[in-house]
Amino acid sequence: NPTTDPANVVQALVYTILDVFDATRDLYQTLRKKEKRDHEQDLRARGYPSSRKIEYVDDYETGGDESIVVDKAAVTRQFEIGFQDVGSQFAVGDAVITQTALQSQIISLQSVVITTFLYGPTSPEPISHHLSSLVAASRAAGTGAVDVLAAQQQRQLGILAPTPRSTRSPAAVRASGAQLPPYPVTATGSASTTLVKSRHEPRSSDEDGHMRHTSFDRRPQLPRTDTESTAFSGPTSYGTSSAPHNLFCLYACDLQRHPSQPLSASITSDPSPYCPYCKRTIHLSPGKSWEIFKEDDGRERCFRIQNRFIVKCHRDGVDGGYTCVLCSNGASVDTICGDVKALVRHIWMDHGAGELELEEDIDEIAEQPVERRDSGLGLGSRRSASVGPSRGKARRGFEKEVETFEIRAPRRGA
């Protein structure tokens, strides 16, 4: 960990719980690999021919290690928010109650990790049980730590004299010499590293492996008088924009303000699409899109989420995540998703067909009457090729293969 001032008790405790999240994820991945090996050995023991390759397919709904990453990011983000709003005093803390509560979360999570590490391999319980325990403990610790830090922030803000929001901005904090202490982010294979705020609680603990749901009222934003621009799309005035600057990249704001503006060549033509302004990688494939199915008045409607919608939801930074434009435009809370799959899943879960049909970058399509292999399973993932006319002359050589995120409710009586 970076060196911290001994007086910054809360900061030190936050760094400690972040380290425990890393240990939890490492143990989860180790057990997951063991589960795969055991699965293969069990099949071989039952006579599965050695000449046949066994492919272990992870269940998307579990998403345990991604969930742990998001829990860690949630705590990190809440500490950053508190530090930016309150200043360096937030890292010190205001009462023993905060220290005690954070220590309690650390001890609880450490206890589950140590117990699982010591007794998990010899326990009669299946590995899936221990994986679920780790995910549940991580979720509880993350939620508890976020609540503790948010409560301290509110207490300290109540003590401070009323100050215009602009003078308490991150830039003002840095200008005053109180720099936000960095924390090294563990490299992962996914972009799901950001707190997800949603209007609803998840339906079940296992249904939402890639997203963390926490509700926050949006802070009132003071109107901005400055005008900023991205060098490729003209000025973007945040005094009149409905999208707060701190929620979106400047380029994403430009796309929102100018519906006819096409995507940059760095997104449509580059093998690894990236934002031309903030330079972060956008995890999508040119020419591919997502499809979701919604029940509306007894009939099923199919909506295709275009790449332009994903791009105009992205935030600054490598681990910035994606802010839902639909929530930002029409709700009192903002939804920040860690990766593209989490964003698509949120749209399916929390937004109705009426909202989707009003969004210019989400198209409703007429589904062809084909028989689906996963009909009635509730959650599936598939790819369907050759959508539309021949590939030879289709839209500047883009592939006409559609990445489909097909989600539907189980049929009654199934």
Same domain, 135 and 232: no
Token pair 């795969």 is at which residue?
A: 36
Same domain, 279 and 147: no
Same domain, 286 and 171: no
Same domain, 27 and 155: yes
Specify the pLDDT at position 13.
94
Domain assignment present for 189: no
Per-residue pLDDT tens over the stretch 114-170? 999 988 777 788 888 888 899 999 999 999 999 999 999 999 888 875 544 444 443
Domain assignment present for 382: yes
> Using 50, 70 and 90 to split pLDDT, how confident is the model at 245?
low
Same domain, 132 and 263: no
Domain assignment present for 410: no
Point out the domain boundary residue: 175, 201, 235.
175
Q: Assign residue 320 a region: left if phi > 0, alpha if psi is -120 to 50, beta otherwise?
A: alpha
Domain assignment present for 409: no
Predicted TM-score (pTM) above 0.85 = no
Domain assignment present for 414: no
Per-residue pLDDT tens over the stretch 63-92? 567 889 889 999 999 999 999 888 888 999
Same domain, 238 and 307: yes
Per-residue pLDDT tens over the stretch 367-408? 554 444 333 333 333 332 222 333 333 332 222 334 433 444
Point out the domain boundary residue: 175, 199, 216.
175
Same domain, 236 and 384: yes
Same domain, 358 and 232: yes
Q: Which residues pair with 305 in a beta bridge?
A: 290, 362
Specify the pLDDT at position 340.
87
- Which is more confident, 399 or 14? 14
- Which is more confident, 188 or 27? 27
Nearest to 186 by CA among 67, 13, 314, 69: 69
- Which is more confident, 234 or 293? 293
Specify the pLDDT at position 17.
95
**Is a pLDDT exceeding 50 seen at residue 361?**
yes
Total count of residues recorded for the chain: 414
**Is a pLDDT exceeding 80 seen at residue 204?**
no
Q: Are 161 and 89 a contacting pair, CB within 8 Å?
A: no
Report DSSP letters for 231-287, one per residue.
Answer: TTTEEEETTT-SS-GGGS-HHHHHHHH-TTPPPPHHHHTSSS-B-TTT-PBP---TT
Task: Note down the domain range covering 329.
Answer: 227-404
Domain assignment present for 219: no
Domain assignment present for 184: no
Same domain, 143 and 238: no
Phi, psi of 314, deg, nearest 5: -75, 155
Q: What is the DSSP letter of 397?
A: G
Could you tell me whether strands 362-365 and 299-305 are parallel, antiparallel, or unpaired per DSSP bridges?
Answer: antiparallel
Sign of the torsion angle spanned by Cα atoms 3, 9, 15, 19: positive
Specify the pLDDT at position 37.
76
Buried b or exposed e, range 251-270, using 16+ CB within 10 angstroms: bbbbbbbeeebebbebbbee
Q: Which two tokens stand for residue 56?
A: 């272990």
The stretch 331-356 carries a mean pLDDT of 85
Same domain, 252 and 387: yes
Same domain, 131 and 231: no
Which helix (H) or strand (E) is 294 found in, with range? Answer: strand 290-296
How many structural domains comprise the chain? 2
> Using 50, 70 and 90 to split pLDDT, how confident is the model at 279?
confident
Per-residue pLDDT tens over the stretch 90-122? 999 887 888 999 999 999 999 999 999 988 777
Token pair 């330079």 is at which residue?
A: 279
Specify the pLDDT at position 289.
78
Domain assignment present for 364: yes
